[in-house]
Each structure stands twice: as C-alpha cells, then as structure tokens.
Amino acid sequence: MMRWIERLLILFIFLIPWQARFILRAGELGDSFWEYGTVALYATDVLFVVILLLSGIWWIKNQKSKIKNQNDNAELKNNLQLTTYNLLLITGYIAFSIFWSFDKTVSFYAALKFLEGVALFFIVRTVQSYEVGPHKMGGPTSRILWAFVASAVAQSVLAIAQFFTQSVFAWPFSGIAPQDPSDLGVSVVQFADERWLRAYGSFPHPNLLGAFIAIAAIILFTQLFRSRDEESGIKNHELGTLKFILHNSYFIILITGLFFTFSRTAWIAFFVGLVIYAIQTKAWREKIFLQLTLLLVVTGTILTVLFFPLVRTRVGGGSRLEIQSNQERTTGYREAMQLIKKHPFVGVGIGNYTVAVARELRLHDPVWSYQPAHNVFLLILSELGIFGLALFLIFFWRLKNLQLTTYYYHLSSSPSSITLFGCFIRVYFFYG
C-alpha cells in the first residue's frame, strides 16, 4: 500500500500547479467578485483525499509494527517530535483564529487549506522514512523531489511558450485563465509603448510561478550532488551521457522559465538560495558545481543580452508601470503595518487580510485594488499576529534542524531539499 501512496503522492506533487477547480461559493465584496473570498474544490484536493485515506488505512494497520526507518535514531526522533508538536500548535492556533476573523467562512476555508498542507508534510515525512524496495533513484525522497522538478520543468516549457506567443490561452479543465498583454490588469513589462507579457504558467500570477521554479531549480541543484549519499555509489558527473544531457537540459529550461517570469523577488531568492547551499555544503569545491554555475552564467547572459531592454526596465524600475508597481507594493506594506498596529497580538484571522483592508482601511475602493501585501512575513503577522509569526519562525528553525540532523546521519541526499520543499508547502497552502 505504501508504494501506491508514494505513486499517488508523486502524481499530486506534479499536478499541484494546475488550478482546475469547482467554485463552491463565489466571493463577493460589495457587489463585485472577490477572488480572495472564493471557496472552491480543486481537482488536486480530490486526489489528496484519496492519498489521505490510504495513508490513514496504512497507519492503522502499521501503528503497532516495528518499522525500519530513520526514527530509530534518538536525536532524529526527538527533533521530529519537537517539529511535530510545533506544527500541531500552529494548526490549533490557526483554527482558533477563525473565531475572531471578519469572514468566518473564508477563514475556515483558509484553515482547511493549511491543514491540507500540514497533512501533506506528515505524509511526505512518512514516505521518506519508510523503505519501499530497491531505490535506484535514491529512494522515495528523491523521487518526490524529482516529481517536483519535473512539474517545474513542465511549467517552464509552458512559460517559455507563453512569452514567445505573448498570450496565455485558456485550456479546458486546466484552470488556466486567458491573459492578453493589451488588457489592463495583466502582468506585463512595459518598454516604450510596448507591453510584454510576463509568463504565468498555470499559476494566477507570474510571481507565484517564479517562486515555484526557483525552489525547483535549487532542488535540482541539490539532487545533482547525490554522490554524497552512500546509496548512490557513483559521482554524478560520471553518469551516462544521456542522463548528463537531460539534467543540464532541465536546468537550462528552469533558468529560462524563471527568466521569463520577470519576477525580481524570485530571481533574488534563487541566487541567495544557491549561495546558502554552496556555503552550507561546501559544494563550491566540487567540479559539478562549477559546471552548473558556468551553465547558469552562460544561459543568463544570453537571455539578458537578447532581452536587455526588458531586464533594464524590471531592474531599473523607471517605467510608468514599474513605478506604479513599486508604489502599490509600498502601499501594501503600509496597510499591513496599519493592520498590525490595530491587531498586534492575534491578527485579523487566517485568510482575512483583504477583507480587513476593505473594512478598516479603504471602505469604498474597487475590489481589484484589495491585494495581499507582497511579503509572507507581513501577511502572517497581519493575519495571525505576533504569536502566530513566532510559531512559524520556530517551526522553520526546527524544520531546518530536523533536516540537518537527517543529513548528518546520512539519511537524506541533501540538507536543503526537504527544507525547501517544506517551505514551499507552508507558503503555497497558506497563501497559494
């Protein structure tokens, strides 16, 4: 049964970016449609329920069995327990925030989505620790991470096609909404009198696509260093020619897809993540690190030269739209701080940021103008207060310690992979 859970989990990870949904309750603010108040059942939710049921059945059957896994290590078991308690405490706190939220239906839905992320975290940890036959590809953890990378590669191919066709086509049952650069409200880079569409993939905004690809690119980077894992037994740069070409091709596609999102935050996060990984693992000493870095520099340089006017506009921020974007971002930060001052300790309730802005700060503005602040920490602080942010920071710290312990005892191929994946789960299900 665990093998089936793993397979379905891999399918779920691959399909996460696809936003096909059935709207249960259309959000309304005033007399207009309100996306952040919409309650919907996603196609991936149905798949996840199946995974959850199978995991529950497996757990009931095996809870008294002695499972050969990494939890036999005392230090690792202790770290895992502390992380679990912290995550359960966050879940309970979020559930209580429903009671003081403005819109309890929206808050309940947001709490349910977060609970889905928590369940996914535990299922991933269970699959990671359970041995399922021979692992030629590095075990369940490696296969899950490769599914994440494969999903990002598919998204990058879609992003590249969107940029060169300068359109986002609506696909039946895919959840992709059509986007045209000539329409107001579509994310574009404006150069002179031209409006260039930023790639969306299947996400509702290019910044989300950028974050997804950036995390996947770093995970790919870490997975190419699996020669450190004793199970691998070979150096990655000694793999066959075909595998070498495929891995490098994936990396080029991810970098290109990330480039065409024109997400400055995602660009910075990717480079910072690589630097941290290189320092943490001393990967910069390895030949393969130099090869991948060279590949990154060459690909990035070619794309920058070809599309230099667009890059200069995004980096320089001198165009009308860039100035407007920066002003809106600043306004979002200011509004977040105002909400934090009004509700410093417990926040406005999970998922209630935009409705709080509408009710307490800007009463009669158009619905489309109510947007979350572009900072996940300010959002957590606004919705869950100081207590909630503290719990999240402790959780991320414990998650990092857990992964470092796992790596120290040679139970995982990378000290960063599951941390990054866990970070994505937390952010995606909290604000996805």
Number of helical H runs and strand E runs in the chain: 14, 6
Residue range 311-315: average pLDDT?
A: 90
Q: Average pLDDT for residues 392-413, to the nearest whole number?
A: 67
Q: Is the pLDDT of residue 228 over 50?
A: no
Please count the structural domains in the chain.
1
Contacts of 78 (CB under 8 A, 6+ apart): none
The larger pLDDT score, comparing residue 253 to residue 140, is at 253
- pLDDT exceeds cutoff 80 at 162: yes
The better pLDDT of the pair 169, 166 is held by: 166
* Neighbouring C-beta atoms of residue 364, cutoff 10 Å: 6
Confidence of residue 161 (pLDDT cuts 50, 70, 90): very high
Between 423 and 197, the higher pLDDT residue = 197
DSSP type of residue 102:
S
Is the pLDDT at 426 greater than 60, yes or no?
Answer: no
Using alpha carbons, list the distances in angstroms from residue 85 to 64, 75, 92, 118, 355. Answer: 21, 16, 11, 12, 31
pTM metric for this prediction: 0.85
CA angle 96, 94, 331 (to 5 degrees): 115
Domain span at 309: 2-431
CA 266 to chain centre: 11
Is 171 or 52 the better-scoring residue by pLDDT? 52
Q: Is the pLDDT of residue 92 over 90?
A: yes
What integer is the mean pLDDT of 77-98?
Answer: 89
Collapse the DSSP code of 249 into the 3-class scheme (helix H, G, I; strand E, B; otherwise coil) and give the result. Answer: helix
pLDDT at position 250: 94
| pLDDT > 90 fraction of the chain, expressed in percent and rounded | 44
> Closest by alpha carbon to 209, among 81, 36, 19?
19
Lowest mean pLDDT, pick from 93-107, 213-227, 235-249, 405-419? 405-419
Q: How confident is the model at residue 240 (pLDDT cuts 50, 70, 90)?
A: low
- At residue 54, the pLDDT reads 94
Average pLDDT, the chain: 82
Structure tokens at 139: 């075990």
